[in-house]
């Protein structure tokens, strides 16, 4: 009989198959080397979730370092639960954007609902009262058999959670594209307010401080949710439903109030929510970021199911839970507050000097791991990548001009990406808390939420144009940031900073990794030139099914400050006789445009170039004009170009537009081209004159492109289409889809 090896390769009950269900073969070799022994099942599970793409950013960290993260107003950048920026008067805005893509595809209602719950916890964990929610949604082809079900479930989940927890969902965006047939995207953003001297962070500061578990009980839902979110789908994705967490917004509301109450008592040393990887990630991140260790007794963890194992408790992603390190002797304060709110509270451990994660269960040590290999020293990959092949520019002169430009406008304004999403956002409470000044229902390029008790407001937007990113990742990344900056500017806000949600396919494929790197570098460049730093964010990879990846979708959540609510802008107040001014230069860029896709049935061509210096010059000029009171209506130009912007202004104002143009760009390209850095302004004639003079003095390209008036949108006296018909096309598409007639075209 052979003697057992001194250091067996596998612990008792573990074999190669079990290992490969948790980590890769190469990663297991690293674990063996780091530990000098084989990990047990609990330890292997901890490595699995902490080294998942979702938690470790192992494929993206080296590239995320390219982002500018500092700025005059930045208090906390990436590395905390959310970004924190100074908004003056001793106040801070705290915000972040995250994905809940995989769970929402598997179980739309709970996936979307818990996405809302998770992003709220990231914000109030830092001491902020949440004041606004946003979302960025991408669904598959409207004709796909699953699309309606997914739209319905996701919208209901967002509304069901946000409405019940009492935070307004004030805006966002929704797109449809066949590239999302196998993987929808549900990106949630939350914004909160706090005093700058009352910001809470996660890092454990002192040894021998008590560790408290608070909130809801731990169950078996969401186990391996982080690893599920770090893998591509294939056959049997429906079987992953048990990995989707189940949320309770009423418990979340109580948790918000209890945490804010405890924060006011000067009892908290540090605090962390239990998000992806649950108790594992929260305990590891708190201890390792403070250079300490942590010891937990799992017998004291509140459990809602019987006979839970240590593995299950550590990997559960049950919702509405927090981990709090309190100052010694202050445990009774936390117990009193959380019991008052009918929430579980238990001392489950303490911080320690040894730099290890030590877990006890039923009197035994079931885990004893050094923290550095789990957290900071997790694998970091520089994956092979190559840039996307450059696309040729499209010369508009080589395209056939539509016979009736008005009919083309009707077609575009009723297309899935342009059509009203009222069916979705009408399910959201947009006005709870009574500080919403502009939301999805209002004609404005960004949501606006008043800072309670003041005359200033936050402007919030989410932006990305995936078809640009697919065509040229670098330019697409620049454009996503620039459009967020432009949307904030268009309502009169000073852009401050962004959060991001970077959604891509499998990073192990060089072409996908090339998309990621290109987008990140483009975003970084735009952030640098526009002084618009990244303060928080999320990376969601492996968004693909059976080898088919989503379009590259680097979502950007932008935050700006309106110093004076009286000096803000929208695009719904245009009236008869107003002069229409176009800020920015037009070359008729039709590559990767909405026009090209919807009218020509093509998705080729290079996207519009983003001249960042021109963006900044044009935006700074416009913001000054808004604050001088010279603008009546302002709209940025994006999808569908000038014509669609004019149509949206006309529909919102109940007043037509008479556009006029003489060349040299072909008329249809002038109308529907998507050149960047542009805004359409309506102004009274005297104000228009003043703006033209200011533009000339400042070297800003501004020209008169028409007048407001009548009930038609027209160009050069022809191609007229009634505003009522435009509204019908715009409003009818989504209800028709959700009624079960996806083939119907409301524009016909």
Residue 219 has pLDDT above 80, yes or no: yes
pLDDT grade for 3, boundaries at 50, 70 and 90: very low
- Listing DSSP states for 89-116 in one string gives TTEEEEEEEEE-HHHHHHSHHHHHHHHH
Average the pLDDT over 474-490 and give the result: 98
Locus of tokens 């983003």: 610
Is the pLDDT confidence value at 541 over 70?
Answer: yes
Is there a contact between 574 and 653 (Cβ–Cβ < 8 Å)?
A: yes
pLDDT score recorded for residue 453: 95
What is the C-alpha separation between 532 and 478, in angstroms, rounded?
12
Residue 742's pLDDT band, with cuts at 50, 70 and 90, is very low
Please state whether beta strands 447-450 and 436-438 pair in parallel, antiparallel, or not at all (unpaired). antiparallel
| Average pLDDT rounded to a whole number, residues 397-424 | 96
Across the range 240-250, mean pLDDT stands at 72
pLDDT for residue 698: 97
Average pLDDT score over residue span 373-381 = 90
pLDDT > 90? residue 104: yes
The 3-class secondary structure across 39-77, one letter per residue, is CCHHHHHHHHHHCCHHHHCCCCHHHHCCCCCCCCCEEEC
Which strands, in side-by-side order, build the sheet including 344-352?
A: 268-273, 321-326, 210-215, 344-352, 293-297, 356-361, 364-370
Phi, psi of 471 (to 5 degrees): -75, -40
Please list the active-site residues: 54, 100
Residue 587, judged by CB atoms within 10 A of its CB (0-12, 13-18, 19+), counts as middle
Specify the pLDDT at position 241. 44
Q: What is the pLDDT of residue 594?
A: 98
State the burial class of residue 208 (Cβ atoms within 10 Å of its Cβ: 0-12, 13-18, 19+): exposed
Task: Report the mean per-residue pLDDT for the chain.
Answer: 94
Residues 6+ positions from 569 with CB-CB distance below 8 Å: 444, 490, 491, 492, 626, 631, 633, 634
Q: Residue written as tokens 């228009």?
A: 688
Q: What is the pLDDT of residues 425-441, one digit of tens each?
A: 999 999 999 999 999 99
Instruction: Give backbone dihedrals phi and psi of 171, rounded to 5 degrees, phi first.
Output: 180, -175
Given a cut of 80, is residue 692 above it in pLDDT? yes
Collapsed DSSP state (helix, strand, coil) of residue 715 = strand
Residue 219 neighbours by CB under 8 Å, 6+ apart: 303, 304, 305, 316, 318
Residues in the chain, how many? 748
CA dist., res. 471 & res. 252, Å (int): 41
> pLDDT band at residue 234, thresholds of 50, 70 and 90?
low
Mean per-residue pLDDT, 543-552: 94
pLDDT score for 243: 55
Check pLDDT > 50 for residue 228: no
Q: Residue 609 is encoded by which pair of tokens?
A: 């170039």
133 CB-side CA count, 13 A: 35
Q: Tell me the pTM.
A: 0.95
Nearest to 144 by CA among 188, 183, 172: 183
pLDDT at 227 > cutoff 70: no
Rounded to an integer, what distance in angstroms lies between the CA atom of residue 275 and that of residue 264?
24
List strand residue ranges (DSSP E) for 663-701, in order: 679-683
pLDDT at 691 over 60: yes
DSSP H or E stretch at residue 346: strand 344-352
Q: Hey, how many other C-beta atoms are within 10 angstroms of the C-beta on 717?
A: 9
User: What percentage of the chain carries pLDDT values higher than 90?
Assistant: 91
Tell me what pLDDT residue 225 has. 53
Tally the C-alpha atoms within 13 A of residue 610's C-alpha that lie toward its C-beta: 31
Q: What pLDDT does 741 receive?
A: 58
Q: How far apart are CA 469 and CA 173, in angstroms?
A: 17
Report the b/e string of 422-457 with b at 16+ CB within 10 A.
ebbbebbbbeebebbbbbbbbbbbbbbbbbeeeebb
- pLDDT tens, residue by residue, 42-59: 999 999 999 998 889 999
Whole-number pLDDT of residue 237: 44
* Buried b / exposed e along 628-659 (16+ C-beta atoms within 10 A): eebbbbbbbbbbbbbbbbbbbbbbbbebbbbb
Q: How confident is the model at residue 275 (pLDDT cuts 50, 70, 90)?
A: confident
Residue 606, burial from CB neighbour count under 10 angstroms (0-12, 13-18, 19+): middle
Which pLDDT score, from 0 to 100, does residue 127 have? 96
The pair of structure tokens assigned to 624 is: 């000054």
Render pLDDT for 553-576 as a digit per residue (tens, 0 to 9): 999 999 999 999 999 999 999 999
- The pLDDT value recorded for residue 8 is 87
Quick check: 170 and 430 in contact, CB under 8 A?
Answer: yes
pLDDT score at 132: 98
Residue range 188-210: mean pLDDT, rounded: 96
Instruction: Let me know: does 346 contact 212? Beta carbons within 8 Å.
Output: yes
- How many of the other CB atoms lie within 10 Å of CB of 599? 19
HSE-CB at 147 with a 13 A cutoff on CA atoms is 26
Are 58 and 524 spatial neighbours (Cβ–Cβ below 8 Å)?
A: no
Q: Residue 6: its pLDDT value, please? A: 57
What gap in Å lies between CA 594 and CA 413, rounded to an integer? Answer: 10
| pLDDT over 80 at 244, yes or no | no
pLDDT tier for residue 1 given thresholds of 50, 70 and 90: very low
């Amino acid at each position: 009989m052979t003697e057992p090896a001194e250091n067996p390769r596998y612990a008792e009950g573990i074999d190669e198959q079990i290992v490969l269900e948790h980590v890769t073969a190469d990663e297991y070799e690293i674990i063996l080397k780091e530990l000098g022994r084989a990990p047990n099942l609990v330890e292997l599970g901890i490595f699995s979730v902490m080294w998942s793409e979702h938690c470790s950013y192992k494929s993206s960290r080296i590239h995320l370092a390219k982002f500018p993260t500092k700025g005059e107003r930045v208090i906390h950048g990436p590395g905390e639960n959310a970004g924190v920026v100074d908004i003056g008067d001793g106040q801070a805005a705290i915000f972040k954007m995250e994905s809940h893509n995989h769970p929402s595809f598997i179980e739309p209602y709970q996936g979307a609902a818990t996405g809302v719950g998770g992003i709220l916890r990231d914000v109030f964990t830092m001491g902020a009262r949440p004041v606004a929610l946003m979302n960025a949604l991408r669904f598959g082809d409207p004709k796909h058999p699953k699309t309606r079900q997914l739209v319905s479930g996701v919208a209901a989940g967002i509304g069901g959670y946000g409405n019940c927890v009492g935070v307004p969902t004030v805006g966002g965006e929704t797109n449809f594209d066949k590239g999302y047939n196998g993987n929808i995207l549900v990106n949630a953003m939350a914004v909160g307010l706090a005093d700058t001297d009352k910001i809470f962070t996660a890092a454990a500061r002192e040894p021998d401080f008590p560790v408290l578990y608070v909130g809801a009980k731990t169950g078996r839902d969401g186990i391996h949710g982080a690893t599920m979110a770090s893998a591509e789908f294939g056959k049997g994705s429906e079987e992953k439903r048990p990995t989707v967490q189940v949320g309770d917004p009423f418990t979340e509301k109580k948790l918000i109030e209890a945490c804010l109450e405890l924060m006011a008592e000067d009892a908290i040393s540090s605090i962390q929510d239990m998000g992806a990887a649950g108790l594992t990630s929260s305990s590891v991140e708190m201890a390792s970021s403070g250079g300490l260790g942590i010891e937990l007794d799992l017998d004291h963890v509140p459990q809602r199911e019987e006979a839970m194992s240590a593995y299950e408790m550590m990997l559960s992603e049950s919702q509405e839970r927090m981990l709090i390190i309190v100052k010694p002797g202050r445990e009774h304060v936390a117990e009193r507050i959380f019991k008052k709110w009918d929430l579980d509270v238990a001392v489950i451990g303490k911080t320690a000097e040894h730099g290890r994660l030590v877990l006890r269960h039923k009197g035994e040590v079931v885990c004893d791991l050094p923290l550095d290999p789990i957290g900071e020293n997790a694998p970091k990959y520089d994956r092979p990548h190559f840039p996307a092949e450059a696309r040729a520019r499209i010369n508009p002169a080589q395209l056939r001009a539509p016979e009736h430009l008005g009919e083309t406008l009707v077609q575009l304004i009723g297309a899935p990406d342009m059509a009203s999403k009222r069916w979705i956002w009408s399910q959201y409470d947009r006005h709870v808390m009574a500080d919403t000044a502009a939301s999805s229902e209002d004609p404005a390029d960004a949501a606006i939420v008043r800072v309670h008790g003041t005359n200033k407001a936050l402007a919030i937007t989410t932006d990305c144009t995936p078809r640009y990113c697919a065509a040229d990742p670098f330019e697409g990344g620049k454009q996503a940031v620039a459009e967020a900056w432009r949307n904030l500017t268009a309502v009169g806000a000073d852009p401050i900073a962004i959060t991001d949600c970077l959604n891509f396919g499998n990073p192990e494929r060089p072409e996908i990794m090339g998309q990621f790197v290109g987008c990140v570098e483009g975003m970084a460049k735009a952030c640098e030139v526009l002084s618009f730093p990244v303060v928080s964010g999320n990376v969601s990879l492996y968004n693909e099914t059976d080898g088919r990846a989503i379009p590259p979708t680097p979502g950007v959540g932008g935050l700006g400050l309106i110093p004076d609510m009286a000096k803000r802008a929208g695009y719904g107040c245009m009236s008869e006789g107003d002069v229409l001014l176009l800020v920015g230069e037009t070359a008729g860029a039709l590559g990767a445009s909405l026009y090209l896709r919807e009218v020509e049935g093509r998705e080729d061509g290079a996207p519009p170039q983003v001249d960042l210096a021109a963006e900044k010059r044009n935006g700074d000029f416009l913001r000054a004009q808004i604050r001088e009171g010279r603008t009546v209506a302002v709209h940025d130009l994006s999808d569908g170009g000038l014509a669609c912007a004019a149509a949206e202004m006309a529909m919102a104002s109940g007043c037509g537009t008479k556009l006029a143009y003489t060349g040299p760009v072909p008329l249809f390209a002038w109308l529907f081209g998507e050149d960047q850095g542009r805004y359409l302004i309506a102004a009274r004639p005297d104000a228009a004159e003043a703006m033209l003079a200011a533009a000339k003095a400042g070297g800003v390209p501004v020209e008169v492109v028409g007048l407001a008036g009548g009930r038609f949108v027209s160009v050069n006296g022809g191609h007229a289409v009634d505003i009522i018909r435009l509204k019908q096309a715009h409003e009818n598409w989504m209800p028709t889809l959700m009624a079960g007639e996806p083939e119907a075209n409301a524009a016909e």
